[in-house]
Structures are given as structure tokens and as C-alpha cells.
Amino acid sequence: MLKLLIRSEDSCRTGVLIPVPTYASFTLALEDQGAAIIPYHLCEEQGWTLQVEELHRALQAARKTCNPVALYICNPGNPTVTESKSIEEVIRFAAEERLFILADEVYQSCVYGDNTEFYSYKKVLSEMSSDISSSVELASFNSVSKGFMGECGFRGGYVELVNLDPEVMKYARTLFSTRSCPPVAGQIALDLMADPPKPGDPSFPTFSEEVQFIKNTICKNTGRIQEVFAELPGISCQPLKAGFFVFPSLHFPPKAIKWAEKRQMELDMLYCLHLLEETGLHVRPGCEYGQRKDSHHIRLFVGTQENIMEDALQRLKTFHVRFIKEFS
């Protein structure tokens, strides 16, 4: 899709709006295509929500240096869940600004917060007024390598294109046909994801039991994460509602900030390196995903077994208390 949208030979570079934090692999893909990256910040204080006012700010600033053509959205993200009303606002923004929507919806099956539901951009778009539902161009992505079917081993996925010009669709089919050979195991898993076992099928009891077990494990893990973080100084974390990762914020003493500055490294990167060296626990620093200036985060996987998660949390707790005390 990026190859279709980005005109790298133009004097004015093609711009794509992307959320912060975001996936490093997508940023690299944009750089590889020669696109101008237009960051818009999710609102951490309100559960990492996407706010249209921030989209307007980012777009207006970017138009001075590039030609914005697309808006990339993670729905749900890690751990963002977008409500139907908010999706409508984003779609109206895209319609007004003539932006192509790239809806990354690979974690749609991983929504587990109380009173939380997944709404697809395609569904919300189809229920809007005809002038918008028939004109806004949308690509909706899903993948077996995320969620309950294949996290993170099986490879295979699909994209559904909405409101594309028929002439453009010809080029899309040509481009996609050059990469149409995922592994057979991935194809089988993708078929099961798109058409899972139903009540009455021989495999349905086992399938539903396993999916529910994974959901229960994630809910217990996220609850435990919130309990542990609430006890620790210098850590705050938004309630978890979706996705397989948590992105807590770290609040370091001034002495630690100066320590990182002397070493000319991001403080959360140094924190993660020392955590790995001292405890064997591997988490990712927020600087790899993007974050507001002078903020620090770490990223943890929540879809593991309960006993492993408890061990990881205890290692993190012991290290963090010692780290904060050392630099206080």
C-alpha cells in the first residue's frame, strides 16, 4: 500500500501521519519508501486515545514541508481501544482533508477490558452518510501473526480495500500478486482465523476453551501488572483494555537523568540494559517507539503464562526499587 501511495520522485515528499508511540517496523518501511513521517501524539492521560485536535495540529505543521496523503491508525493499539464516536470523528477528518486511511486492525481479537468492544473502521465508515461512506478511501489490515491464532510465529494476513478507483485496483492486484506465497501453515491459520470453528463442530469445545483460557490469562496478568505498578514509586500505567503489550511511564529522579545525559543515551534505554544485565528480564525502551520529549516508558508483553509473568514482575519490582533508591 505504501508503494501505491508514496511518490518518492516528487520534489515535495509524500507525507504519512503516524501515531506516537508506533511500531518501529512501520517507521522503517516509511523511510525505505522515501516518505515524510508526520507524528501525531496519542493522549496518554486519557488511555492513549487518538484526538482529532492533535491530528489537525500535526497535519497543518506538516503541510509546510511535505504533501500529506495518508493517515495510519492502530485500532486497537497497545493498549488503545477506539470508541465508535471517536472513529467517526477521525473518518470525517480524513474526508475533509482527503487522506487515505490505513487502518492497522491486527489486534482486533485482543479486546478484553470491561465494557469494551472493537469497532472496525470499515463498519463505522459503512454506517455514515453516503457522501462520506462512498468516498473515503480505506485499507483495513488483519494478520494471523497477532492475536490468539499465531502470536507471534505464524505469518499470513490480508488487506481489504474500500472505495479505491477501479484503475488503481488493477495496480494493487499486480503489486500484491508478487508477494502471494505465505507459508502453508500460515495460510491454514489465516483460514481458521477468518472462519473459526462454530458450535456443533467437533473442534469447537477445544477451540473456545483455549481462546477463553488465553483471554483469562491476559486479564489476570494485566490485573496483576496494575497491582504491582501501583505499589512502585516512579511508575504509572493507564488501564489495559486491548492488545498484548503494556506501555507504562517511568518517572526518574533528576540524578538519573543527569547520569543518562553523561553517557549520551536515552534514560529508558539505559534502564532496560541494566535490567537485562542484572535480572535477565528483557523489556523494550519507549524511545524505540516514540514518546513525548522528556518522557520515558518501557514496553512489556502480557500474553505469557501467569507464573512467568509473576516471576518477571518480581524481578522488575526488585530492580526498579533499587534503581530509584540509588538515584534518589
DSSP 163-184: S--HHHHHHHHHHHHTT----H
* Residue 188 shares a structural domain with residue 280: no
- The pLDDT value recorded for residue 200 is 96
Q: Which helix (H) or strand (E) holds 311?
A: helix 306-327
* Residue 112 shares a structural domain with residue 9: yes
What is the pLDDT tens value at each position of the chain, 328 positions in all? Answer: 999 999 877 778 999 999 999 988 899 999 999 999 999 999 999 889 899 999 999 999 999 999 999 999 999 887 677 777 899 999 999 999 999 999 999 988 888 877 888 999 999 999 999 999 999 999 999 988 887 777 667 888 899 999 999 999 999 998 888 876 778 888 888 898 889 999 999 999 999 999 899 889 988 999 999 999 999 999 999 888 888 889 999 999 999 999 999 999 999 999 999 999 999 999 999 999 999 999 999 999 998 999 999 999 999 999 999 999 999 9
Contact assessment for residue 20 and residue 39, using Cβ atoms and an 8 Å cutoff = yes
Residue-number span of the structural domain to which 103 is assigned: 2-194
Find the helix packing angle between 204-231 and 306-327, rounded to 10°. 20
- The pLDDT value recorded for residue 157 is 87
Q: Which helix (H) or strand (E) holds 14?
A: strand 14-20
Contact assessment for residue 88 and residue 123, using Cβ atoms and an 8 Å cutoff = no
* Residue 80 shares a structural domain with residue 157: yes
- Length of the chain measured in residues: 328
**What pTM was estimated for this model as a whole?**
0.92
In a domain, 85, yes or no: yes
Choose the final residue of a domain: 194, 216, 246.
Answer: 194
In a domain, 232, yes or no: yes
Contact assessment for residue 99 and residue 69, using Cβ atoms and an 8 Å cutoff = yes
In a domain, 155, yes or no: yes
For 246, the grid coordinates are 503494556
* Residue 184 shares a structural domain with residue 296: no
In a domain, 313, yes or no: yes
Distance separating alpha carbons of residues 297 and 294, to the nearest angstrom: 10
Distance separating alpha carbons of residues 138 and 144, to the nearest angstrom: 20
When divided into structural domains, the chain yields a total of 2
Distance separating alpha carbons of residues 157 and 154, to the nearest angstrom: 10
- The pLDDT value recorded for residue 184 is 86
Angle at 312 between CA 304 and CA 309, to 5 degrees: 30
* Residue 158 shares a structural domain with residue 232: no
Long-range contacts, stretch 46-50, CB < 8 angstroms, 24+ apart: 47/79, 47/80, 47/81, 47/238, 47/239, 47/241, 48/77, 48/79, 48/80, 48/238, 48/247, 49/80, 49/82, 49/86, 50/19, 50/80, 50/82, 50/86, 50/90
Residue 315: strand, helix, or coil? helix
* Residue 245 shares a structural domain with residue 208: yes
In a domain, 230, yes or no: yes
Distance separating alpha carbons of residues 328 and 324, to the nearest angstrom: 6
Choose the final residue of a domain: 194, 226, 247.
Answer: 194
Residue type, 91: I
Choose the final residue of a domain: 176, 194, 212.
Answer: 194
In a domain, 199, yes or no: no
Query: In CATH, what number is assigned to the domain containing residue 15?
Result: 3.40.640.10
* Residue 54 shares a structural domain with residue 141: yes
* Residue 27 shares a structural domain with residue 142: yes
Query: In CATH, what number is assigned to the domain containing residue 248?
Result: 3.90.1150.10
In a domain, 174, yes or no: yes
* Residue 60 shares a structural domain with residue 160: yes
How much is the CA Rg of the chain, to the nearest whole Å?
21
* Residue 171 shares a structural domain with residue 49: yes
* Residue 151 shares a structural domain with residue 16: yes
* Residue 123 shares a structural domain with residue 90: yes
Round to the nearest angstrom and report the end-to-end CA distance of the chain: 49
